[in-house]
Amino acid sequence: MSLLDIKQIHGGYGGMNILNGVDLTADRDEIVVIIGPNGAGKSTLLKAAFGMLKINDGTMTFDGEDITHLRPDQLVGKGISYVPQERNVFPSMTVLENLEMGAYLRKDDYSRQMEWIFELFPRLAERRKQQAGLMSGGERQMVAMGRALMLEPKLLLLDEPTAGLSPLFIDQTFEQVKAINKTGVGILMVEQNARQALHIADRGYVLTTGRNRITDTGANLLANEEVSEVFLGG
């Protein structure tokens, strides 16, 4: 059984369903990427996995436990961390305080995890006393990922981590995602930079109108002519 197992999920924000029966699995040793056109429900699927959606049908399990109707604050203690696309830092707080808030649920000594995050993002180590709200978009993304990693999650959900970043930061972010995954943290991410994301992905899901369209390995999806033409812009 997979770490995260989503089966035939239907759900939305109260009104009409946005997800109309999606299946998805993710494991600790893989990077899974969700791509698809605007409005396909990519980010919505990620939010569903983090308990931010009203689920009307279908089931979700995490680590063998039913999580279909759990809230974010209940899920975060079970080993799922979520990085929203926007508003993903505490702007008035310093880098260090942001990381401390990420570790809020920890009662043990988390200094080693913090050191590891500073190794992964050396830029944050230089700026640990800086207010997160005053940092660049790329730096804020690092703060956001660092914050989400403080609880040593089994699965990290990333909503468009490279959105709005310069090409240099985009490459760097993908490298960091790979590095995080190597330490045994499963990655499930939604990406606009689909071609680049599929290059580092073990598996990819193509969604359209809230349904699975194509599911395959990253390499196969890149080689797939239909995917290439329709979803990767030729």
Partner 1 sequence: MIDFLQLLVYGVVLGSILTLGAIGVSLIFGILRFAHFAHGDIMTLGAFSALAVVSLGLPVLVALPIAMAITAVIAVVIDQTIYRRLRRTAPVILLISSFGMALGLRSLIQLIFGPNNQVFAKGIQMPYRWGDIVVKPDHLLIVGGAIVLVLVVHMFLSHTKMGKAMRAMSDNVDLAAACGIPAERVVMWTWILAGCLATAAGVFLGMDAQLHPVMGWNILLPVFAATILGGIGKPYGAIAGGMVIGIAMELSTMVMPPVYKPAVAFAIMVAMLIWRPQGIFKGQA
Selected range binding partner 1 among 96-104, 166-174, 199-207, 213-221, rule: CB under 8 A: 96-104
**127/203 with CB nearer partner 1:** 127
44 binds partner 1 (CB under 8 A): no
Among 23, 27, 57, 97, which residue sits at the site for partner 1 (rule: CB under 8 A)? 97
Residues 138-197 that bind partner 1 (CB under 8 A): 147-148, 151
Residues binding partner 1: number (CB under 8 A): 28
**7/78 with CB nearer partner 1:** 78
Selected range binding partner 1 among 100-108, 189-197, 204-212, 218-226, rule: CB under 8 A: 100-108
Q: How far is the CB of 123 from partner 1 (least distance, A)?
A: 20
- In SS3 terms, the chain reads as CCCEEEEEEEEECCCCEEEEEEEEEECCCCEEEEECCCCCCHHHHHHHHCCCCEEEEEEEEECCEECCCCCHHHHHHHCEEEECCCCCCCCCCEHHHHHHHHCCCCCCCCHHHHHHHHHHCHHHHHCCCCEHHHCCHHHHHHHHHHHHHCCCCCEEEEECCCCCCCHHHHHHHHHHHHHHHHCCCEEEEECCCHHHHHHHCCEEEEEECCEEEEEEEHHHHHHCHHHHHHHCCC
Selected range binding partner 1 among 5-13, 24-32, 76-84, 110-118, rule: CB under 8 A: 76-84
Q: Which residues bind partner 1 (CB under 8 A)?
A: 50, 71-73, 76-77, 81-82, 84, 87-93, 97, 100-102, 104-105, 131, 133-134, 147-148, 151
